[in-house]
Amino acid sequence: MEGGGRRVVVVGAGLAGLGAAQRLRGHGSLRLLEAAARAGGRVCTRSFASGLVEMGAHWIHGPSPGNPVFCLASRYGLLGPEAAREENQQVEAGGHPPMPSITYGSSGKVLSPKAVREARDLFYALLASTRTFQGSKKPPCPSVGQYLQAEIARTVPQEDARQLQLAVLTTCLKLECCISGTHSMDLVALEPFGEYVSLPGLDCTFPRLAERLLSDLPEGTVLLNKAVRTIRWQGSFREEWDDARVFPVRVECEDGDVFLADHVIVTVPLGFLKEHHQEFFQPPLPERKARAIRHLGFGTTNKIFLEFEQPFWEPQQQLLEVVWEDESPLGEPSADLEANWFKKLIGFVVLQPPEQHGHVLCGFIAGKEAEHMETLSDAEVLSAMTHVLRTMTGNPSLPAPRSVLRSRWHSAPYTRGSYSYVAVGSSGEDIDVLAQPLPEDPRDPRPLQLLFAGEATYRVFYSTTHGALLSGWREAERLNPLLQASFPRLSREAAK
């Protein structure tokens, strides 16, 4: 690493790392180290059928002027005309997908749209009421799931005629697990649940933003296949050829390469930190930060893409919802993952337009069932999905999908899941603690040795791509005054 200015290393080339590097570009001693063979992190585009699919981030949630991902994508010309329409930017969608075009029941029939709508309206009214407990010293129960179950028990009469309503409410809870990235809403803390902020705008498909950010960085800034093993901080490290200069941080990679730095921005996912923070940092992180890592939640949401020779759905249908009619949010969920994992699936989004993608459905599944799915073969997943679709449509002869592709975020060694949530036993304060730079003493003569970014460090936008991007910008802005003082030729563009 060349240059006499302060040296910065960014660990992780997801949106947080790319965002930080974007704001720091122009500073000659910047390196971005990425463990994988590609940049983007949990934004991952793959070829499937006749087009491209997003294995990770699927939508820009809240595409409107307050969303930096939307603004960047607009600036780069990556959005279609529909996403850019002003009226779409003003819709309050609350971070949820549109109403299902069709809801299939396990009896093999299409369920009454009126009954489905009434159950969903009840669910979203109850979900909105969880926000009233934000800041409460004595919420009625620890978790969102427990609160919703109690309200459902109080609101929905326990009669056979109401079984369909209870079954639809169960699917609504499964969808909320996908959105929150958790196995069960019983794991999500009630009091801080309302801190999360939903931006206005009709969710639009995620553009290929990571590639654009990467291409904007100077050649040689990003090093791929460069997994970091240990970050040693609070040290006094010297280059072999330069005894005069001392660095407080030494980044050691699995391939033996070493990078000395004044500042390191750590953007690795919370799932990785949960498993590796004790050996990843030397000396270990202060107990307050280690506790925040342990207490915050990090779960798995996966996708299952299915390609069909011909569609069995109508051209106008966007979301095919799946309801198991014997289920209830008040009953005990099945513990037999092997036999029932596919029942956690909430349904399928139809990828549009078919001219671009072919005839492709994208299923969503969360929690332990999503993790179990990762252990199965493609043939086993394909068989289970064929069974689900034949059961729901009541058509035992429905042709099987011709191919399948699924995400495996829990198995990914540098990710270990999908995104964060505020778990029972944690709070929004833990997110702030995770985001705090080290060393903690502001009077330390070598400040900002370790900085932390990533969606899990952004209190009101955790679990989102815009939270990740903003967190990277935030940490770059912490550093820029120091970098400008030691490197006065820093360009205006980098300081913006």
User: Which residue stretches of 263-363 are H helix?
Assistant: 270-280, 287-295, 337-340, 354-357
Return the pLDDT at 87. Answer: 72
Higher-confidence position of 61 and 363: 363
Tokens 């936008």 locate to 461
Element of type H or E holding 347? strand 347-350
Per residue in 109-123, pLDDT (tens digit) is 999 999 999 999 999
Per residue in 378-408, pLDDT (tens digit) is 999 999 999 999 999 999 999 999 999 999 9
Q: Give 99: exposed, middle or buried? Use CB within 10 Å, 0-12, 13-18, 19+.
A: middle
Q: Residue 230: name the closest of 33, 439, 454, 470 by CA.
A: 33
8 Å CB contact between 106 and 324: yes
- Using pLDDT thresholds of 50, 70 and 90, give the confidence band for residue 95: low
Contacts of 256 by beta carbon, 8 Å cutoff, 6+ apart? none
Average pLDDT over residues 208-233: 95
Q: Residue 69: name the closest of 205, 189, 184 by CA.
A: 205
- Using pLDDT thresholds of 50, 70 and 90, give the confidence band for residue 207: confident
User: Which residue stretches of 358-413 are H helix?
Assistant: 367-374, 378-393
Residue 282 predicted with pLDDT over 90 = yes
- What is the residue extent of each domain of the chain? 8-44+206-297+420-495, 96-197+301-406
8 Å CB contact between 430 and 287: no
Q: Which CATH superfamily is domain 8-44+206-297+420-495 in?
A: FAD/NAD(P)-binding domain (3.50.50.60)
Rounded CA separation 285/477 (Å): 23
Q: Report the 10 Å Cβ neighbour count for 185.
A: 24
Return the pLDDT at 92. Answer: 66
User: Which residue stretches of 67-107 are H helix?
Assistant: 68-75, 81-84, 86-89
Q: Which numeric CATH code is attached to 96-197+301-406?
A: 3.90.660.10
Asked whether the whole model's pTM tops 0.85, one would answer yes
